[in-house]
Amino acid sequence: MSITANIQEVVAGLPPGVRLVAISKYQPAEAVREAYDAGQRVFGESRAQELKDKQPQLPPDIEWHFVGTLQKNKIKYIIPFVTLIHSIDSFSLLAEVDKYARKEGRTVDCLLQIHIAREETKFGFAFGECREMLEEGTWKSLANIRIRGLMGMATFTDSQEQVADEFRSLKGFFEEIKKEYFPDETGFSELSMGMSDDYRLAVGEGSTLVRVGSRIFGERRY
Ligand SMILES: *Cc1c(COP(=O)(O)O)cnc(C)c1O
């Protein structure tokens, strides 16, 4: 199937209120352009250098999200234009993003990445670490970032039950955090969960942002 047909199929299957972030990492600008021409406007990348190089080649009304591990020395590449960073996994990273956003005169929306998978290798705050950071409170003084919600990645497994359980635990944590720390803010509203193989399960468990790459673009090209 073509990129256009894939986009249409994924979008048609999403309920109202759930947005598709088309993950275009390792895809050339022409592939992004094809998805854009099919009507897609929200794209995600996982390497700062790649995003920095791709962004100027593509239409300015694209909403760029960053979903990968963000090295501190590369934050400056993406701050001038990035819309949402999904992958904040420490207070110090949040503070660095705030610092560069201030220099740029911007406020940058961020999600806290939570470790929900049973694998050791996935990044993110443990539930307890995240609570501690929010409880400690210094984040409230960071004027150039806005915490808009949470992100998580499920374990890579054939067990749909396990994946659904992990997404459900993140949704539960999201509700707890919202009630405790963002009760008056409608802005804490995004739950980024679900990829090509599990986005339907994620939507069933309350995702608002699905991050779908290979199902749209096919295998990564380099
Ligand atoms: C690559 C990537 C995706 C998309 O993965 P697919 O399986 O290709 O849909 C989603 N989220 C993150 C954080 C990624 O790095």
DSSP 109-142: EEEEEEE-SSSSS--SB-HHHHHHHHHH-GGGG-
- Using most ligand atoms within 8 A of CB, pick from 20, 27, 67 the residue to mutate for ligand 1: 67
**Band (173; pLDDT cuts 50, 70, 90):** very high
For residue 220, give the ligand 1 atom closest to its CA. 8
Q: How many residues does the chain have?
A: 222
For residue 25, give the ligand 1 atom closest to its CA. 1
Q: How far is the CA of 95 from the centre of ligand 1 (A)?
A: 25
| pTM score | 0.97
Work out the number of other CB atoms within 10 angstroms of the CB of residue 131. 16
- Please name every residue paired with 151 in a beta bridge, in sequence order, or none if there are none: 113, 192
Average predicted confidence (pLDDT) for the chain: 96
For residue 217, give the ligand 1 atom closest to its CA. 8
Mean pLDDT of 170-190: 95
| Per-residue model confidence (pLDDT) at position 214 | 96
Q: Say if ligand 1 is within 6 A of residue 69 CB.
A: no
DSSP string over 28-84: -HHHHHHHHHTT--EEEES-HHHHHHHGGGS-TT-EEEE-S---GGGHHHHTTT--E
**Band (220; pLDDT cuts 50, 70, 90):** low
* pLDDT score of 211 more than 80: yes
Mean pLDDT of 164-171: 98
